[in-house]
Structure 1
Amino acid sequence: MDTRPDLLPSAHRLTGLLDGVTDDHLARPTPCEGRTVSQLLAHIDGLTAAFRAAADKDFGPLTDTNPDAGGWPEAPSGWREQIPARADALAQAWVAPDAWDGMTRAGGVELPAEVMGLVALGEVTLHGWDLAKATGQNFDVDDATLAVLSGYVQGFDTGGTPGIFGPAVEVGDDATELDRVLARAGRDPQWQA
């Protein structure tokens, strides 16, 4: 991979969204079918730790187990402090050039590290959008991240990947590039809580 994407903007965007999440939001639905904001926060908490471990090639329970195998729990009690710290650690870990080399694992799946870095970027960004939509916040993506994600989602099966992404959603010719990325990842850009 010639140019490695920077995960810092997406991690910072996600962290900024957390400030807008109130306790009243926790029971709200999200674009992740059947999941509440609290459950989405728990998922984000786990994935930020797992993808940091994947970057560091720190193999063990964080990288070798499916985080959703036991269902989607509620957010941990310290999520307001823990998720920002983990999101920053995740993004910082992927700054290291060797994070992108060789093979690595996350969620029990082994992939080339350069692919896993894209998966991490996608997870942080797409779940950031999920959180923003569920809590009534605005969401935007910087041009560099959007360009990387546009290429990344083109490899997705339009029929979806069970347990990971839903089937691609149709969007009009006038859809924004962000809407196209979301739709290819099985999200309805017009979703409302």
Structure 2
Amino acid sequence: MQPEFDLSSAAAALADTVAAIGDEQLDVRTPADLSVRAILEHVGGLAEAFRAAATKEAAGKSAAPEFDSAATLAPDWRTRIPAQVKALAEAWQESPAWQGDTEAGGVTMPAAITARVALDELVVHAWDLARATGCDVEVAESDLEVLLEFLQDTPPEGTPGLFGPVVPVGTGAPLLHRVLGLTGRDPFWIPKAR
């Protein structure tokens, strides 16, 4: 089975966003109601988890992710996280990654679904970080189309442990806004004044 889509653009967008974050922004709240620091720590963990899912290393070994609001971010985060998301994208460029089932976060699912979850994590957390820190993030329209199709049946109450309740946006809204709304994000979220 050939790869259905390429995660490289989403990984690069997230890496660029990470590179633009200043140390003084690490405690800023994100649209996910977690600090930038906690999202960065989560992204590092999920990048490794979804890379291992692509290579099938995770079978029987993965665990549900934890969000630690008091996360201690390793000092090498500026270089480690971009390298991790690049490795994730590269792993999903291999045909065997898309075959059969795989495991991530303690959940076994078809590999093609796992790749979509990985894409969602890359895109949504890049937006979370960019929105919280005042950066711009460019998301490929092709990635948004994959995610919109994947997320279109999200129940209004969201998916516990993954997404908050759907934030309604018009059907004519930009693709990014529609994807964000389906993941429980308000596309117009702005940081609270300090």
What band does the TM-score fall into relative to the shorter chain? over 0.9
Per-residue CA distance 1:85-136 (angstroms, 9 max, x = gap):
1001000000001101111101101101010011001111111110110110
Residues 1:89 and 2:103 are matched in the alignment: no
- Equivalent residue, structure 1, for 2:52: 53
Structure 2's unaligned 5+ residue stretches are: none
- Equivalent residue, structure 2, for 1:187: 185
- Equivalent residue, structure 1, for 2:5: 5
Comparing 154-163 with 20-29, greater Cα deviation is found at 154-163
CA RMSD in angstroms comes to: 1.7
TM-score norm. by structure 1 comes to 0.93
Distance 1:95 1:3 in 2: 6
Distance 1:104 1:183 in 2: 27
TM-score norm. by structure 2 comes to 0.92
71, 74, 92: which one aligns with 2:68: 71
Q: 1:158 to 1:3 in 2, by over 3 A?
A: farther
143, 158, 161: which one aligns with 2:159: 161
Distance 2:72 2:160 in 1: 22
Q: Is the 8 A contact 2:38 2:68 kept in 1?
A: no
Alignment size in residue pairs: 190
Provide the secondary structure at the position in 2 that maps to 1:64. Answer: coil
- Equivalent residue, structure 2, for 1:32: 32
Q: 1:2 to 1:54 in 2, by over 3 A?
A: closer
Distance 2:130 2:35 in 1: 13
Letter in 1 for 2:28: R
Distance 2:189 2:77 in 1: 25
> How far apart are 1:155 and its partner, in Å?
2.8
Matches within 5 A, 1:97-136: 97-136=95-134
Distance 1:75 1:123 in 2: 19
Moved over 3 A (4+): none
Comparing 4-13 with 157-166, greater Cα deviation is found at 157-166
Distance 1:44 1:175 in 2: 27
